[in-house]
Amino acid sequence: MIQAAHVSKWYGPVRALHEVSFEVPKGQIVGLLGPNGAGKTTTIRITTGFFPPTSGSVSVCGHDTVAASLEARSCIGYLPDAVPLYTEMAVEGYLDYRARLYGLSRGERKRAIARVVERCTLGDVLRRRTGQLSKGYRQRVGLAAAMLHDPAVLILDEPVSGLDPTQILEVRRLIRELAHDKTVLLSSHILSEVEATCDRVIIIAGGTVRADGTPEALLESLAADAPYVAEVRAGEGGGERLAAVLRAVSGVAGVETTPVAGEPAWTRCVVTPHATAPDLREAIATALHRAGGGDGGLMVRELRRERPTLEQFFLRVTGPGAGARAPGPRGEGGAA
263 within a domain of the structure (yes/no): yes
With 80 as the cut, is the pLDDT of residue 276 above it?
yes
Of 221, 246, 272, the position where a domain reaches its end is 221
Statement to judge: residues 188 and 293 lie in one domain? no
With 70 as the cut, is the pLDDT of residue 4 above it?
yes
Statement to judge: residues 186 and 64 lie in one domain? yes
Residue type present at position 241: R
Statement to judge: residues 200 and 141 lie in one domain? yes
d(CA 31, CA 202) in angstroms, rounded, equals 6
- Interhelix angle 91-101/135-147, nearest 10 degrees: 30
Domains contained in the chain, number: 2
Of 188, 221, 254, the position where a domain reaches its end is 221
Per-residue model confidence as pLDDT tens digits over 175-215: 888 888 889 999 988 888 888 899 999 999 999 999 999 99
Per-residue model confidence as pLDDT tens digits over 300-336: 999 999 988 888 899 889 876 665 443 333 333 333 3
Q: Which residues does 101 contact at the CB level (< 8 Å), separation at least 6?
A: none
pTM, rounded to two decimals:
0.79
Statement to judge: residues 214 and 81 lie in one domain? yes
From the CB of residue 237, how many other CB atoms can be counted at a distance below 10 Å?
Answer: 11
281-302 average pLDDT score = 83
240-260 average pLDDT score = 94
Statement to judge: residues 211 and 138 lie in one domain? yes
Q: Place 296 in a pLDDT band, splitting at 50, 70 and 90.
A: low
Query: What range defines the domain where residue 48 resides?
Result: 2-221
Per-residue model confidence as pLDDT tens digits over 142-179: 999 999 999 999 999 888 877 788 888 888 888 888 88
Statement to judge: residues 258 and 273 lie in one domain? yes
Per-residue model confidence as pLDDT tens digits over 66-76: 999 999 999 99
313 within a domain of the structure (yes/no): no
334 within a domain of the structure (yes/no): no
325 within a domain of the structure (yes/no): no
- pLDDT at 231 (0 to 100): 95
Write out the E strands in the chain.
2-11, 14-24, 29-33, 55-60, 63-64, 76-79, 153-157, 183-187, 200-205, 208-213, 228-233, 252-260, 263-273, 299-305
DSSP for residue 329: G
